[in-house]
Amino acid sequence: MGREVEVKAEVEEDLSEKITEAGGRYLREVFQEDFYFRHPCRDLAERDEALRLRREGEKYTLTFKGRRVGTGTKMREEIEVGVSDLEGAVALLERLGFEKAFVIRKRRREFLMEGVLVSMDDVEGLGRFVEIEVLMEGESLEHAGSLKDKLFEISQKLGIDREKLTTESYLEMLVSKSSSSKHRR
């Protein structure tokens, strides 16, 4: 159980080189497939909550994301549990009335920069993004202000304009993109 604080920005080019030049250490590359579920009797989007089942190679994680608090950065509670099997988890959730609503697939390259996780994401159907994130484990919320400043400082070092930063999730981007393309029809 933790809390994530993050910002992201759409970028035109791959910032990998820029990140390592600015002192970021390359960690790994992963492909993530995220299934978001609809709750049988709660509007999770309305509550600003989410239930996600992630496949990362042979590793599967079920995550509850709580509502965002504060402004400027995205800070929300995260409860993560590893699960042994993807199909079983989907079947179990479906038997409880949950429904797969959206899938988000991305290639992510992770870097560690001044204790902060910086990811270059290529998100299927959405584009290229950089995400700058800190995980707080049991730290107090008072701490959050200085963490926010840290995130802004790092995005500046990577040459990202503050006004380009967003707290929107990929899920929201996908939802608003798919609904606007529906309107266009």
Residue numbers annotated as active site: 36
Buried b (16+ CB within 10 A) or exposed e, 172-185: ebbbeeeeeeeeee
Kindly state whether residue 1 participates in binding a copy of itself, applying the rule CB under 8 A.
Answer: yes
Structure tokens at 19: 């990140």
Report the alpha-carbon distance of residue 165 to residue 46 in Å, rounded: 23
Show Cβ contacts of residue 144 under 8 Å, excluding neighbours closer than 6 positions: 5, 70, 75, 136
Q: Do 119 and 131 meet the contact criterion of CB atoms below 8 Å apart?
A: yes
Compare residues 93 and 130 and give the one whose CB is closer to a copy of itself: 93
Kindly state whether residue 52 participates in binding a copy of itself, applying the rule CB under 8 A.
Answer: no
Q: Binding string to a copy of itself for residues 24 to 43, with x set by CB under 8 A, is what?
A: ---------------xxxx-
> Pairing mode, if any, of strands 2-10 and 74-83?
antiparallel
Closest distance to a copy of itself from the beta carbon of 75 (Å): 16
Q: Do 152 and 5 meet the contact criterion of CB atoms below 8 Å apart?
A: no
Closest distance to a copy of itself from the beta carbon of 65 (Å): 9
Compare residues 36 and 111 and give the one whose CB is closer to a copy of itself: 36
Closest distance to a copy of itself from the beta carbon of 83 (Å): 5
Kindly state whether residue 57 participates in binding a copy of itself, applying the rule CB under 8 A.
Answer: no
Q: Binding string to a copy of itself for residues 86 to 125, with x set by CB under 8 A, is what?
A: -xxx-xx--xxx----------------------------
AA letter at 67: R
Q: Provide the binding-site residues for a copy of itself, judged by CB under 8 A.
A: 1, 39-42, 49, 51, 62-64, 66, 79-85, 87-89, 91-92, 95-97
